[in-house]
Amino acid sequence: MSPGVVDYLFRQLVTGKTSEDIQWEQEGISLAAQPEGAELARRLSETDIDALTPVELFHYVRAAQRLAAWAEGLRQAAVGRYCHPGPA
């Protein structure tokens, strides 16, 4: 476990709260709801993955997979356009 996760779980245990982190879901649009594109890429690139809880890390990985699939679709469309250009 990363130091950030251990610290978070310890703070939750000391205060008698559940170890499940729900506050991050209330701080704005979640990674799961963020549309594919530049903003999602920026958020993923700026995230300190060592500080994520296991649930947050799961959502991070899923968002990265969605972004990769979206980018692959753009690439395939561009290759198709390059290989079969329309009338000028």
Q: Do the domain assignments include residue 23?
A: yes
Residues 44-65 have pLDDT tens digits of 999 999 988 888 899 999 999 9
Q: What is the DSSP string of 18-83?
A: -S---GGGGSSS-TTTSPSSHHHHHHHHH--GGG--HHHHHHHHHHHHHHHHHHHHHHHHHHHHHH
Residue 67 domain flag? yes
- Tell me if 27 is assigned to some domain: yes
How confident is the model at residue 21, as a pLDDT?
Answer: 56
Compute the average pLDDT of residues 16-39: 77
Residue 41 lies in a domain: yes
Banded model confidence at residue 10, pLDDT cuts 50, 70, 90 = confident
Number of domains in the chain: 1
Per-residue pLDDT at 45:
95
The residue segments making up the domain with residue 53 are 3-83
In a domain? residue 88: no
Domain membership flag for residue 77: yes
Q: Assess contact for 8 and 14: CB atoms under 8 A.
A: no
Would residue 35 count as lying in a domain?
yes
Inside any domain, residue 25: yes
This model's pTM is above 0.75? no
Q: Is the pLDDT of residue 11 over 60?
A: yes
In the predicted model, what is the mean pLDDT of residues 81-85? 91
DSSP state, residue 5 = H
